[in-house]
Amino acid sequence: MKKWFYPLGFVTLLGFTMLFLNIAKDEVVSLDQKMGNLLEGNSFITAFHYFGDTKFILLIALLIILLLWIRSHNYRGMLFVLFTVGVGNALNQLLKRVIQRERPDVPSQLETYSFPSGHAMVGLLYLFTIAYLATEHQTNRKITVTIWLGAIFMSVMIGLSRIAESRHYASDVFAGWMVGYTWFVLVALWYEYRKRKRKNKKNRL
């Protein structure tokens, strides 16, 4: 990862904290209302919610783990996926239960809590994990940039789909992106530390 990715993880953690502390403020409520009115019912955007469905993400994560095991017995990479997606999802559920923000008041609403958005958070985590692993040894800059732009685009659309469906407030989605990215950076730091440690050990042999 680029070095500036790491301090950005700290910035997004601060952003999540500030948003959490101000979710009842008029400015945040106004933003939620404006974003909701702007995106509500957009059928193109709502279609992306399928890519953030829990069952779909679980299937993709299992396929990645299986691929890493079959191709290279990359156990560290398998743990990377487990930590980003699996533990990330558990962290999302924990935050929701601690914060206990109610969802928007619409018919047939989900019964779980709202803040932060699971689709936004875990959607970003599994897409960024795919992009990270796919570009880990990629030397072609254009391919790397294209993969990452695709991951960012899909993450944004998955998050926006929850606003368009009135399943979440915009602030829930922004919070999901921010805390999701922070968690991704923390796991990536661990992954790269372990990789350097193993490389140094091999060099000493």
Residue range 17-54, pLDDT digits in tens: 999 999 989 999 999 999 999 998 898 999 999 999 88
In a domain, 123, yes or no: yes
**Is the pLDDT reported for residue 190 higher than 80?**
yes
Neighbours of 104 (CB within 10 A): 17
In a domain, 144, yes or no: yes
In a domain, 127, yes or no: yes
Q: Which of 135, 121, 98 is nearest to 168 (CA)?
A: 121
Question: pLDDT > 70: what percent of the chain?
Answer: 92
CA atoms within 13 A on the CB side of 148: 13
Count of structural domains, the chain: 1
* 104 vs 114: CA distance, rounded Å: 8
In a domain, 112, yes or no: yes
In a domain, 26, yes or no: yes
* 47 vs 158: CA distance, rounded Å: 9
**Is the pLDDT reported for residue 66 higher than 60?**
yes
- What average pLDDT does range 158-178 have in this prediction? 93
Question: pLDDT > 90: what percent of the chain?
Answer: 66
The more confidently predicted of residues 112 and 23 is 23
In a domain, 43, yes or no: yes
- What is the residue type of 143? I
With H, G, I as helix, E, B as strand and everything else as coil, classify residue 22.
coil
In a domain, 120, yes or no: yes
Confidence of residue 65 (pLDDT cuts 50, 70, 90): very high
Domain range enclosing 81: 5-199
- What average pLDDT does range 171-186 have in this prediction? 96
In a domain, 45, yes or no: yes
Tens digit of pLDDT for each residue in 93-105?
Answer: 999 999 988 888 7
State pTM to two decimals.
0.89
**Is the pLDDT reported for residue 108 higher than 80?**
no
